[in-house]
Amino acid sequence: MPSLKEVRTRIASVKSTQQITSAMKMVAASKLRKAQTGILQLRPYAGQQQKLLMQLSAGQGDALSAFNVQHSANRVLYVVFTSNRGLCGAYNTNVIKQVSSLLLTAADAQEEADLITIGRKATEFFTKMPVNIVASYDELYDQLSYPKSAEVAESLIELYLSGTYDRIVFVYHQFKNAVVQKLLVEQFLPVQSGSAESGHHDQETEYIFDPSQKEILSELIPRILKTQFFKALLDSWASELGARMTAMSQATDNASELLKELRLTYNKARQAAITKEILEIVGGAEALKNA
């Protein structure tokens, strides 16, 4: 059985850790409210944009110009979304495992695969791996805003339009709630045009274009792509905070259970020490009587 001093030291250490995890849980919960509001407000708008794009491009693939050119996909760019900090459960590990699997699949298919990392955890991990990191945008989470996000999206669009990459794919978590985050592998470019497989031909909307459909789509598609990138960024940010709040909540609960066990151990050790002292006193008294 450990000594009383050792148990007291462990109790103090666990209490200190519990205070830290509890504070981190409250901070994450506070930030999560704002992040959750942001993604929930943007998601319907982004969804309607995609729906509009599908309707406009259905049966008019040529109007999508260079944005939906199908290549052999010999060069693929994966945009990896992780967090800048840890202590968020398996959030970063899941993304890194998925990307590692995609890189192995690309190697087996003899495809060239590069990375753009968003989040220090991905940057730190893949820097040590034999993979080319084109750019890192770890600072995006520091001041999350659409203008900064749009600049990165523009650079991605340019990489595709210039022919540097045949396909650009996002790997990120979609926010469901504070407990559930869904890992997605989503194609960013080329744009997937709509199809006439919906079965609602009688409900299709007819548009009159002025200027031409091609001109409208050439302006509309980059805006939609910027919105989709910003949505992925907000999804990742909200998912990170949700994962951290859940992880810190579990850590705080575990600390409470551990404190109960340590206090029980402390009481047992204290009781054993008191019993030992009483026995020594009684034994000493008996020895004096017999002297």
Helix (H, G, I), strand (E, B) or coil at 152: helix
Considering the domain architecture, whether residues 144 and 40 belong to the same structural domain is answered as yes
Domain CATH number, residue 15: 1.10.287.80
CA distance 235 to 117: 16
Domain CATH number, residue 163: 3.40.1380.10
Mean pLDDT on 101-105 = 96
pLDDT single digits (tens) 52-75 = 777 665 555 555 567 777 666 689
Considering the domain architecture, whether residues 14 and 144 belong to the same structural domain is answered as no
pLDDT of residue 201: 45
- Distance spanning both ends of the chain, measured CA to CA: 35
Cβ–Cβ < 8 Å for 235, 174: yes
Q: Tell me the pLDDT of the chain averaged across its residues.
A: 88
The number of folded domains in the chain is: 2
Considering the domain architecture, whether residues 268 and 175 belong to the same structural domain is answered as no
Preceding omega of 211 cis (within 30 degrees of 0): yes
Mean pLDDT on 4-14 = 91
Considering the domain architecture, whether residues 256 and 214 belong to the same structural domain is answered as no
Strand 132-136's sheet: what is its strand order? 132-136, 112-118, 75-81, 167-175, 181-189
Cβ–Cβ < 8 Å for 181, 174: yes
Maximal C-alpha separation, the chain: 118
pLDDT single digits (tens) 201-228 = 445 667 777 777 777 777 888 999 999 9
pLDDT of residue 202: 44
Considering the domain architecture, whether residues 42 and 81 belong to the same structural domain is answered as yes
Mean pLDDT on 84-107 = 95
pLDDT of residue 65: 61
CB atoms closer than 10 angstroms to residue 42: 17
How would you classify the pairing of strands 167-175 and 132-136?
Answer: unpaired
Considering the domain architecture, whether residues 167 and 277 belong to the same structural domain is answered as no
Considering the domain architecture, whether residues 49 and 178 belong to the same structural domain is answered as yes
Considering the domain architecture, whether residues 150 and 281 belong to the same structural domain is answered as no
Helix axis angle, 213-290 to 4-57, nearest 10°: 170
Considering the domain architecture, whether residues 80 and 46 belong to the same structural domain is answered as yes
> pTM for the whole thing?
0.86
Considering the domain architecture, whether residues 184 and 267 belong to the same structural domain is answered as no
Which range marks the domain in which residue 151 is found?
24-195+204-245
Residue 285: which pLDDT band, with cuts at 50, 70 and 90? confident
Considering the domain architecture, whether residues 8 and 132 belong to the same structural domain is answered as no
Cβ–Cβ < 8 Å for 156, 138: no
Residue 14, pLDDT > 80, answer yes
pLDDT single digits (tens) 22-51 = 999 999 999 999 999 999 999 999 998 888
Residues in the chain: 291
Mean pLDDT on 102-117 = 95
Mean pLDDT on 258-285 = 89
pLDDT of residue 199: 43
Cβ partners under 8 Å of residue 98, min gap 6: 171, 183, 185
What b/e sequence results for 43-63 when a residue is b if at least 16 CB atoms lie within 10 Å of its CB, and e otherwise?
A: eeebeebbeebeebbeeeeeb
Considering the domain architecture, whether residues 232 and 263 belong to the same structural domain is answered as no
